[in-house]
Amino acid sequence: MSLTGRKVVSAGVGYSVAKATSPRVRAPTDTVPPAEARTTSRPGFQPCRRTPDPTYSGGVTTQREIAERLGLPVHPPKVELFDVEAGTNTDPKSVVRDVDEYRLEPFGLYLRRGMPAHPKLRALQSWLLPEHDLRITRWEHHPGRADGWDYYVDVARIEPGPRWWRSEDHYLDLLVADGREAQLIDVDEFLLAVRSELLDERTAERAMRAACTALEGLARHGNRLDDWMRELGIELSWSGQSTHDPVARPSLVPPNR
Q: What pLDDT tens digit does each residue of the chain (257 aa) get?
A: 334 333 333 433 343 444 333 333 333 444 445 444 443 333 333 333 333 333 333 445 778 888 788 787 788 999 999 999 999 999 998 999 999 999 999 999 999 999 887 788 889 999 999 999 999 999 887 877 666 789 999 999 999 999 999 999 999 999 999 999 999 999 999 999 999 999 999 999 999 999 999 999 999 999 999 999 999 999 999 987 644 444 444 433 444 44
Tell me, what's the pLDDT at 145? 63
CA distance 76 to 60: 17
pLDDT tens for residues 123-173?
Answer: 999 999 999 999 999 988 787 766 678 999 999 999 999 999 999 999 999
What DSSP letter does each residue of 52-74 carry, written as one string?
S---TTS-PPPHHHHHHHHT-SS
CA distance 35 to 79: 12
Tell me, what's the pLDDT at 51? 38
Tell me, what's the pLDDT at 164? 97
Q: Looking at the chain, how many residues does it have? A: 257
> CB-side exposure of 172: number of CA atoms within 13 Å?
28
Tell me, what's the pLDDT at 73? 76
Q: Are 21 and 73 in contact (CB under 8 A)?
A: no
Tell me, what's the pLDDT at 33? 53
Q: Which residues pair with 181 in a beta bridge?
A: 177
Q: Dihedral of the CA atoms 26, 28, 33, 34 (nearest 10)? A: -50
Cβ atoms within 10 A of the Cβ of 188, count?
Answer: 18
Q: Are 123 and 114 in contact (CB under 8 A)?
A: yes
What domains lie within the chain, and their CATH numbers?
Answer: 24-41+62-181+226-231 (2.40.380.10)
What contacts 192, CB < 8 A, 6 or more positions away? 22, 73, 74
CA distance 168 to 115: 21
Tell me, what's the pLDDT at 198? 95
CA distance 159 to 41: 13
CA distance 108 to 25: 13
CA distance 154 to 131: 14
What DSSP letter does each residue of 164-227 carry, written as one string?
EEEEEEEEEEEEEETTTEEEEE-HHHHHHHHHTTSS-HHHHHHHHHHHHHHHHHHHHTTT-HHH
Cα angle: 163, vertex 141, 106; to 5 degrees: 30
Tell me, what's the pLDDT at 222? 98
Pair type for strands 164-177 and 151-159: antiparallel
pTM here is: 0.73
Q: Which of 205, 121, 93 is nearest to 157 (CA)?
A: 205
CA distances 3 to 74, 150, 196, 209, Å, are 16, 29, 12, 11
Q: Are 236 and 109 in contact (CB under 8 A)?
A: no
Tell me, what's the pLDDT at 225? 98
